[in-house]
Amino acid sequence: MCGLLAMLASKGDAGSYAGAVEAGLPCMHHRGPDAAGTWHDDDALFGFNRLSIIDLEHSHQPLRWGPEGNAERYAMTFNGEIYNFIELREELTGLGYEFATAGDSETIAVGYHHWGEKVVERLRGMFAFAIWDTETKTMFAARDQFGIKPLYYATTAAGTVFASEKKSILEMADAIGLGTELDRRAIQHYVALQYTPEPESLHREIRRVEAGCTVTLKPGGDVEAKRYFKPAFEVTPVPKGGEQRLFDKIAEALEDSVAKHMRADVTVGSFLSGGIDSTAIAALAKRHNPDLLTFTTGFEREGYSEVDVAAESAEAIGVEHIVKIVSPEEYADAIPKIMWYLDDPVADPSLVPLFFVAQEARKHVKVVLSGEGADELFGGYTIYQEPLSLAPFEKVPSALLKGLRKLGEVLPEGMKGKSLLERGTQPMETRYYGNARNFNFEQLQRVLPWAKPEWDHREVTAPIYQVSEELGMDPVARMQHLDLFTWMRGDILVKADKINMANSLELRVPFLDKEVFRVAQTIPHDLKIANGTTKYALRKALEQIVPGHVLHRKKLGFPVPMRHWLAGDELFGWAQDTITESQTEDIFNKPQVLEMLKEHRDGVADHSRRLWTVLCFMVWHGIFVEKRIDPKIEQKDYPVDL
């Protein structure tokens, strides 16, 4: 788990950009405070910040490796963890290859030499890496199947730069002749979705390698992207009486994944909320580390904390538990810092408590496990029950359906039945664009007067829906498929990576394992959404693993009392000042945003999530564009062998 920075120069002058790379590396110090290094030849230049997790004394990067006769043919930087590296090393050793280190980085380089680009299909883990072949003059870069680790890139006349964080590329902008204009289409997508969808970033000329993709390029050439992982829910009928075998396969796959994710030469802990996902991971991790530490966070406000449930779970599975309570004052003070770490804003209120629990965990461990991905793979979001609740609308004649739609449109905001009518009279492709549904287009125009209909959410979702339709997925699987490509990559995994790495803490997500997905993708919809609950098959699989008080508990998510705080003394004044001081008049209709804040305070409407989306952008803009807000970032160092 580290920070990489790589450049392929167009004109054989890579060395002239060494100073720019060295200037960009400190922006990612938090990703790897244990060691730093650079290397270059005429064409390629690598920089690296290391967080040492495996083979602490060796496996330094940039890494050089080559076969006999050309011992330094390849140069590589790699961010992530390969959980099956031991098995791959044994296979490659059997084929006659020798290793100089005991880590997973070298395994990728040797594997690339032997299998070529198909090495990515052999890797079980989270990764983003770039390899330079000095013999063929080819750069090969890749990102893991689900997009757990980030990889940004930008191309100018000087060459192409890859980085784990966008801010490092921005630091190099002048040196490589990179424009830093904002992308209005990406801004509109962000406001509608609360995140910027891949492959966009809010800066027009900086993009992201998409999850499950590789890229190849030569000096002065174009970036050629190729998708190697195409996740799909290929449901196979479960034989009569065969449900238990499916449940057993889920439990076996998850137990194996957790065992692989526990591989480390440092201490591994686990996040533990009140939900089934993190509790399952912690319970399985306890089998491999009897002294496992678990961590949770919450708020003082009643109804917005899972601390008590998490403590009960910790006691039931027999682990030591550490709690961090976050105050409204701490919450507000941390927002600029968090926006800086994110690179692009993500308007998920749970980012802030996650930052504090990660900060607390880093005092005790260097690696934590967490339950991200379970909802997308196993059907955990309550919204996935919607196809069942809206099924009666499918029998309504089209003429009557149009009338019901018009009725829904004229009903007052917040009136009971309005949402049901509006959603039930629309096709899934129109009504569902992931778990974040902050603004419809009319609401969007209120704050973004320049918003374009052709840039609405369907520009992002339509190609994904087309694939799921062509593959014949059922409605629940289509929603999961959409979330895999949008919500999970844009929100869930961005905050998982950026916020934990902000604290030099490696987060591992055992649910997002390709062997776990291999089982999850076969579950029929009636074993995902069943008996009035979600994740039915997963719950059945975990009956002997998760304590009973958690097993059938409804999903709460990561509750934040944002609605109350923005209407009250806690955050209303901060929000008002943020809007007033922001220099974003060319982007937002600020009087309308202030009016929304007043409506929210007065109880006219609940604008909390919409306001939060705008406020996060304004803070981000104040840091990266206006240079008006100082996020007060401190470079911290930690014990290497914690």
Binding-site positions for ATP: 370-371
CA-angle at 36, arms to 32 and 42, nearest 5°: 130
What is the widest separation between alpha-carbon atoms in the chain? 76
DSSP states of 337-352: HHHHHHSS----TTHH
Q: Which residues line the annotated binding site for L-glutamine?
A: 104
DSSP 239: P
Q: Give the bridge partners for 35, in sequence order.
A: 50
Q: Which two tokens stand for residue 462?
A: 């339509």
Residues pairing with 325 in the sheet: 298
List the binding residues: 104, 370-371
19 touches 174 (CB < 8 A): no
The span from the CA of 467 to the CA of 317, in Å, is: 42
Distance of CA 2 to the CA centre of its chain: 16
Query: CA 198 → CA 15, 208, 224, distances in Å?
Result: 31, 6, 16
Residue 551, Cβ neighbours under 10 Å: how many?
15
Please name which of 166, 183, 195, 181 lies closest in space to residue 5, comparing C-alpha atoms: 166
Q: Which residues pair with 298 in a beta bridge?
A: 305, 325
Q: How far is it, in rounded angstroms, from Cα 272 to Cα 210?
A: 30
Token pair belonging to 341? 């770490």
**Within 10 A of 13 (CB to CB), how many other CB atoms are there?**
13
> In this structure, is the dihedral angle defined by the CA atoms of residues 336, 184, 229 and 473, taken in order, positive or negative?
positive
Structure tokens at 227: 């998708």
Q: Which residue in the block uniquely carries the two structure tokens 């803070």?
A: 619
Catalytic residue (one of 2, 27, 213, 616): 2
Residues paired with 131 in a beta bridge: 76, 140
Query: HSE-up of 460 (CA within 13 Å, CB side)?
Result: 27
For residue 428, CA distances in Å to 383, 432, 458, 540 come to 12, 6, 11, 29
Interhelix angle 608-624/328-342, nearest 10 degrees: 60
- CA torsion, ordered 407, 411, 414, 418, to nearest 10 deg: -10
Strands 138-143 and 213-217: antiparallel
Whether 213 is a known active-site residue: answer no
Cβ within 8 Å of residue 403, ≥6 positions away: none
Region of 394 please: left (phi>0), alpha (psi -120 to 50) or beta: alpha
The CA distance from 322 to 340, in Å, is 27
* Amino acid at site 580: T
Q: Cα(222)–Cα(207) distance, rounded to whole angstroms?
A: 14
d(CA 590, CA 82): 47
Q: Report which DSSP code applies to 305.
A: B
Which of 144, 137, 141, 145 has the alpha carbon at shortest distance from 154? Answer: 141
Active-site residues: which are they?
A: 2
